[in-house]
Amino acid sequence: MTPRERVLAALRHEQPDVTPYQISFTQKARAAMVAYTGDPDFDAGWDNAIAWYSGLATADGWREVAPAVWEDAYGVRWDRTVDRDIGVVCNTRVTPETLDDYRFPELLDPVYLADARAGTDRFILADLGFSLFERAWTLAGMEHVLMAMAADPGFITALLDRILDFNLRVIDLACAHDIDAMMFGDDWGQQTGLIMGPARWRAYLKPRLARMYARVHHYGKYVFIHSCGKVDAVFPDLIEIGLNAFNPFQPEVMDVAAAKRAYGRDLTFFGGISTQHTLPFGTPEATRAEVRSLLATVGRDGGYIAAPAHSIPGDARPENVLAMMDVLRHQ
């Protein structure tokens, strides 16, 4: 089977010949792997199953406005003095008084997707990051968004509706091309549950997510989401509104084998390899055992894309990363 055929089988909950996998690195982790292996192309032979395309529908608005401070297409500024991969938001773009005047970026057709299929046998994934809750708090501030969910429903409803309208137009542009799926990045969770709680998630996010997922399915594409944290309380809701694949499936905050038993007929799980414990603090032997267990349990009967539960962090031990890959590449 090709990598794409393996992902499609996983999404149909059929057993592929081998479980597909997808590995990505933070900048610090990649540098550590290059230093450890002595090879800048150490991962050249790794057969990632997914061709991943980000930055949908907006011009590249990234510009450095101060040392290590970058502004994106939405006018949000990110201080990257500590986190070089993403950064920390350091300005406020939207308030209740300025929402009506805020203008989203000009939409552009992601024409590069027109050639995405050429020369690859991978599954084509178009990624809209910071897609709803995250877009709201990056624009208005986390504390203001959470307070509005409790005390200012008019503001948060208006803000989320404007983001939804923008996202639906992005979906139309992306899904007009020959892609397989759309991924929506939108972290809702922390280590112990949903940041805003299940009730407010259902009140404010679920109906808008339902419209986004339905629009993707209208074009015959699959729906993936990325949400860090313990969000399994809303797995039934996500299944109800049409989610196909859930990422990153953190074993530190949920029982991945139990989740497979409970929801594996409806959801494909994408992730599951521990980035908080095993990769940074385990041994190569423990890493191999964990990956083999995931392939045998979560990967049984399809419904699994093996991956670390996030881009590999900088504190991951290179020998553990190589042990993980040894198992994945020799299934």
Please say whether the beta carbons of 224 and 244 come within 8 A: yes
Q: What is the pLDDT of residue 85?
A: 82
Q: What is the pLDDT of residue 61?
A: 77
Helix (H) or strand (E) holding 330: none
Q: What is the pLDDT of residue 58?
A: 76
Between CA 106 and CA 90 the distance in angstroms is 23
* Bridge pairing between strands 189-190 and 193-194: antiparallel
Q: In 3-state terms, what secondary structure has residue 126? A: strand
Q: What is the pLDDT of residue 59?
A: 67
* Residues in contact with 5: Cβ distance below 8 Å, sequence separation at least 6, in sequence order: 16
Please say whether the beta carbons of 180 and 4 come within 8 A: yes
Closest by alpha carbon to 270, among 255, 249, 252? 249
Q: Provide the H-helix boundaries in 128-255.
A: 133-140, 142-151, 153-175, 197-200, 206-218, 235-240
Q: What is the pLDDT of residue 252?
A: 94
Domain regions of the chain by residue span: 3-57+97-329
Q: In 3-state terms, what secondary structure has residue 97? A: coil
Of 3.40.50.300, 3.40.50.720, 3.40.190.10, 3.20.20.210, the CATH number of 3-57+97-329 is 3.20.20.210
Helix (H) or strand (E) holding 289: helix 284-297
- The one-digit pLDDT tens for each residue of the chain (331 residues) are 999 999 999 999 999 999 999 999 999 999 999 999 999 999 998 999 999 998 886 766 789 999 999 999 999 999 999 888 889 999 999 999 999 999 999 998 999 999 999 989 999 999 999 999 999 999 999 999 999 999 999 999 999 999 999 999 999 999 999 999 999 999 999 999 999 999 999 999 999 999 999 999 999 999 999 999 999 999 999 999 999 999 999 999 999 999 999 999 999 999 999 999 999 999 999 999 999 999 999 999 999 999 999 999 999 999 999 999 999 999 9
CB atoms within 10 A of CB 87: 18
Q: What is the pLDDT of residue 60?
A: 64
Place of tokens 């409970």: 262
